[in-house]
Amino acid sequence: MIKTILWDVDGTLLDFLAAEEAAIRACFAQFGLGDCSGEQIARYSAINQRYWHRLENGEITKPQVLVGRFEEFFAREGIDPALAVPFNQAYQVRLGDTVRFMDRSDALISRLRGRVRQYAVTNGTRVAQERKLEKSGLGKLFDGVFISELVGAEKPSPAFFDYVLDRIGPVDKSEVLIVGDSLTSDMRGGLQAGIPCCWYNPKSLPCPGGMELDYIIHDLNQVEDILSHK
């Protein structure tokens, strides 16, 4: 019986791509870079995902992700890469300006309050995540929030999950469920931590062979069906 849920934030509870697009367009305007086209945003997003995967694999550090992705993007777009540092600082703030819930996740979290303990577990920066959680109202609904920047480790590392489980414990790992959209971060981390894993897969993507997940859902509200199973 699941008694505790660890919720990923970006791409799971909140529409990250919508926030990303709005933040980049706002920063382009702020730095006098003109309009940012949809094609440019798509190119940046691909670079960004690659950098985050390298972080999850332990190949680079968080600061290298935050600045390096913009340095590479700007170099490819003919923009001065020296803007990467101030641009990223402004971008982190802007990320918290756009809140769009996935599958009415705010109502879901509200309904589950008191029924299970709920925690946010995120690799996003402190600046961006605290703004998102405050503006969305989700922060006050959780029993706790774990931001990797404050934890000192990133998902999927065992150190991140050890920290979380220690702080919310003592718990029976079989009663803790992680829900997230990332196979490389949320699901891999959950599997390594020995807790049940629920992959949020709204696009019905194929599940990689060899990754045995406990649940695959296409709508976040299906979590309620999981909780009804004793």
Mean pLDDT, residues 1-26: 97
Question: Residue 105 contacts by C-beta under 8 Å, 6 or more apart in sequence?
Answer: 12, 13, 14, 138, 220
DSSP strand pairing (215-217 vs 117-122): unpaired
Q: Can you give the pLDDT at residue 218?
A: 98
Q: What is the pLDDT of residues 88-102, one digit of tens each?
A: 999 999 999 999 999
Mean pLDDT, residues 26-38: 96
Whether 204 shows a pLDDT value over 80: the answer reads yes
Q: Backbone phi, then psi, for 13, in 5-degree steps? A: -80, -35
How many CA atoms are closer than 13 Å to the CA of 124, on its beta-carbon side? 27
Domain 4-15+100-228 CATH class label:
alpha beta
Mean pLDDT, residues 171-192: 97
Question: Residue 130 contacts by C-beta under 8 Å, 6 or more apart in sequence?
Answer: 96, 139, 147
Q: How confident is the model at residue 175 (pLDDT cuts 50, 70, 90)?
A: very high
Task: Using a cut of 0.75, tell me whether the model's pTM lies above it.
Answer: yes
From 153, 145, 197, select the one nearest 173 (Cα to Cα): 197
Domain range summary for the chain, segments of one domain joined by +? 4-15+100-228, 16-95
Which residue in the block uniquely carries the two structure tokens 């990133």? 154
CATH number of 16-95: 1.10.150
Q: Can you give the pLDDT at residue 208?
A: 85
- Give the catalytic positions in this structure: 8
Whether 230 shows a pLDDT value over 70: the answer reads no
